[in-house]
Amino acid sequence: MAESWATLGIDLLVEPTGPGLRRGLTDALREAVRSGRLAPGTRLPSSRALAADLGIARNTVADAYADLVAEGWLTARQGSGTRVVEREVVPPSGTAPHPRALTRPAYDLRPGSPDLASFPRAEWLKAARRGLTAAPYQALGYGDPRGRPELRAALAGYLSRARGVRADPERIVVCAGFAHGLKLLGTVLRARGARTVAVESYGLDVHRRILTASGLHTTPLPFDRLGTDPGGLADAEAVLLTPAHQFPMGVPLHRDRRTAVADWARRTGGLVLEDDYDGEFRYDRQPVGALQGLDPDRVVYLGTASKSLAPGLRLAWMVLPPGLAEEAAAAKGGVDPCGVLDQLTLAEFLTSGAYDRHVRATRLRYRRRRDALVAAVAARAPEARVTGIAAGLHVLLRLPPGTEQSVVQAAHWRGLALHGLARYTHPDAPAEPVDALVVGYGTPPDHAWSGALDALCAVLPG
């Protein structure tokens, strides 16, 4: 019986209740279908397999199935087995509708995500097959907490060539997204005795919360037309920056300030955390090289596949100064939380040139979208103004003073998901509030782009 239970059929959790096995099993199966626990179309185990699982006679299960077929809950056809009938599941009274059914927008112009419809599925599958075929069987074990050596070697070559990063595979740590990497760095900084991390006046609040949860205080730096001003770094042990394309203001860090940040780190022993979240996407010229190239001993470079490929991959990487890689790997707990198969696939994707081809194709698509957005705003909403360099997956759209909240509310009423700049402003930012929208043009698929652009222009003043 133990062997039969382990090898037969499809698993189904069902507990017969009430008097009599047949009636109890029938009632339990009927309730599972009625409640939606067994979804329409679900295939049930054969009567033989379920009888073996429950330790009852096969005829009892067959009779229960027959009763439910007669009642219309199940259907049985030769060759396709016994299945739940395709029918609408009515939730119990008092059950609230699923929140996504109420809040899903018609158009989404929130920043932070690429066009997921353009994910290179065919090339990714080819890379997955090649990567898995070439991998030694030991690759499927727990492995090095820094990540698969194939991926770290591929990243070192790519980052050196494309981003000017001075990368050694031994000093690269793969992590499950940028947020995971930042959490690891927060743990390392706190263990080293750090108390304060300087951050930009404008940025993602989730990053500030991660640092705060690590026991670190965040203090905002001033911002002006040259980008973030590093003059306020005196009391900080580390600083988090987006120097290539400031999020969300959309400007690069001025070259003099890049030098000043590196000088501060060397002089004080501070650490620079460089978030290069969309460094590949520059449209008007060659991308600015990574800040890490100025001082690899004091700058931690953080990159991610979330913007170039898809956030659902949960793959990011850190290039760390000597000595810090071991501490970051130890902070992971000695186990790599990133899936081995995706790491092997990305390594093959990078070394085969498929990644470069994909980035070039999407760079062209996003450039056209940005150009269309700039032209549409200039023609149809002259009171709004696009600012920032031609780069990344978002623009900052300046609005007349006092209009940000009303525009965001009007967009919500029209089914357009849109974020205002206030959402990304540090509560202690040393500057007067600015009315603006942070418009993400990467998110909509191609077929929805023109509709999203029309919806945006319809809510803008002027």
- The rounded percent of the chain whose pLDDT value lies above 90 is 77
What pLDDT is recorded for position 18?
A: 67
| More confident site: 112 or 4 | 112
pLDDT bin (cut points 50, 70, 90) of residue 149 is very high
The whole-chain average pLDDT of the chain stands at: 91
288 secondary structure, DSSP code? P
Amino acid at 343: Q
Q: Compute the distance between CA of residue 111 and CA of residue 247 in angstroms, rounded to an integer.
A: 10
What pLDDT is recorded for position 374?
A: 97
The closest alpha carbon to 181, from 305, 322, 308, 345, belongs to 305
Q: Is the pLDDT of residue 19 over 80?
A: no
pLDDT bin (cut points 50, 70, 90) of residue 423 is very high
Q: Compute the distance between CA of residue 287 and CA of residue 152 in angstroms, rounded to an integer.
A: 22
283 secondary structure, DSSP code? S
Q: Compute the distance between CA of residue 180 and CA of residue 187 in angstroms, rounded to an integer.
A: 11
Q: Is the pLDDT of residue 185 over 90?
A: yes
Which helix (H) or strand (E) element contains residue 263? helix 255-268
What pLDDT is recorded for position 77?
A: 85
What pLDDT is recorded for position 94?
A: 54
Residues 283-319 have pLDDT tens digits of 998 888 999 999 999 999 999 999 999 999 999 999 9
What pLDDT is recorded for position 101?
A: 41
Q: Is the pLDDT of residue 397 over 80?
A: yes
Q: Compute the distance between CA of residue 296 and CA of residue 294 in angstroms, rounded to an integer.
A: 7
Q: Interior CA angle at 358 toward 353 and 360, to 5°?
A: 100
Distances (CA, A) of 235 to 147, 169, 259, 267: 34, 33, 19, 13
Residues 326-341 have pLDDT tens digits of 999 999 887 778 899 9
| More confident site: 336 or 50 | 50
| 153: helix, strand or coil | helix
Q: Which domains does the chain have, with CATH numbers?
A: 2-84 (1.10.10.10), 107-115+357-459 (3.90.1150.10), 119-354 (3.40.640.10)
Q: Per the structure block, which two tokens stand in for 423?
A: 């959402």
| More confident site: 235 or 291 | 291
pLDDT bin (cut points 50, 70, 90) of residue 16 is confident
What pLDDT is recorded for position 416?
A: 94
Q: Is the pLDDT of residue 7 over 90?
A: no
Please give the average per-residue pLDDT across 360-389, as a whole number. 95
Q: Compute the distance between CA of residue 196 and CA of residue 182 in angstroms, rounded to an integer.
A: 14
Least trusted range by pLDDT, from 91-100, 236-245, 403-412: 91-100
Q: Per the structure block, which two tokens stand in for 289?
A: 């090289």
Q: Are strands 74-77 and 299-304 parallel, antiparallel or unpaired?
A: unpaired
Residues 63-117 have pLDDT tens digits of 999 999 999 999 988 777 899 998 765 555 555 544 444 457 889 999 999 999 9
Q: Compute the distance between CA of residue 214 and CA of residue 207 in angstroms, rounded to an integer.
A: 11
